[in-house]
Amino acid sequence: MGRPAHLPIKLILLPRLGRERAGSLSQGMPRMKKQLMTACLFAAVLAAPAFAEDADVLQSRLNQVNSFHASFTQRVTGAEGGAVQEGEGELWIKRPNLFNWHMTTPDESVLVSDGKTLWFYNPFVEQAIANWLKNATGNTPFMLITRNSAADWGQYNVKQQGDSFSLVPKADNGNLKQFTINVTANGTITGFTAVEQDGQRSTYQLKSQKNGPVDDAKFHFTLPKGVTLDDQRQ
């Protein structure tokens, strides 16, 4: 069997998932929780005059595409620049709250939002976590891109340089140090990078993006038979 997935989805989840209920999970779950904490990398932007225009441009560009499918490659490097992990997968988004992030290699993992519940599934350990989407933090790159909310962006200072937008959190109280997203004038996302406080960098390159309707079935998650569910929607 392969090693458990080091979820690139540092980018997505709720910081508290890894802290509040670690003792309640089976042996495999702490590993998943760590992955989910690592997923706390996707964030928001701005409200200060010097950066407001750039934030408006970013939101306007993202608003041009309401749903899309793309494949992606992922590279995680440590503070010293050494490779930690490389992988690839597929991504489906339908704004404001639907997404399906499917990491296929080196290890499979799935993160799905059906608009109400956020599902994280790790086939390797045959376990899944369910949490209310409303409890998901807005300071992770994935939630930023999916919601594209002015309230989220207002938490960051945004600086534009061509098609590249650099976001730095206004509050220094999270794992995310900087988030950069590359999006063209027609709203196509070509890539994004998240840098954590410890210097770890996660870089994603999107390719073959197809803008247009996405089947709602992509955003429904059915718990596979034999999989243990940690339901945190209590």
3-state secondary structure 102-148: EEEECCCEEEEEECCEEEEEECCCCEEEEEEHHHCCCCCHHHHHHHC
For residue 168, tell me if it sits in a domain.
yes
In a domain, 74, yes or no: yes
CATH code, domain carrying 107: 2.50.20.10
Give the pair of three-digit tokens for residue 13: 């989840």
pTM of the complete model: 0.74
In this model, does residue 10 exceed pLDDT 90?
no
The two three-digit tokens of residue 24, written as one number: 């309640």
Confidence bin at 45 (pLDDT 50/70/90): very low
231 domain-assigned: no
Q: Is residue 2 in a domain?
A: no
Total domain count, the chain: 1
16/136: higher pLDDT: 136
User: pLDDT value at position 22?
Assistant: 38
Q: What is the dihedral of CA 59, 114, 68, 163, to 10 degrees?
A: 30
Residue 230 lies in a domain: no
- 156 domain residue, yes or no: yes
The per-residue pLDDT for 143 is 75
Is the model's pLDDT at 138 over the cut of 80? no
Higher pLDDT, 9 or 134: 134
Domain that residue 42 falls in: 15-79+87-217
Mean pLDDT along residues 36-45:
41
Does residue 113 lie in a domain region?
A: yes
187 in any annotated domain:
yes
Q: Is the confidence at residue 204, as pLDDT, over 80? A: yes
Q: 13 pLDDT exceeds 80?
A: no
Hey, CA dihedral for 5, 6, 11, 15, is it positive or negative? positive
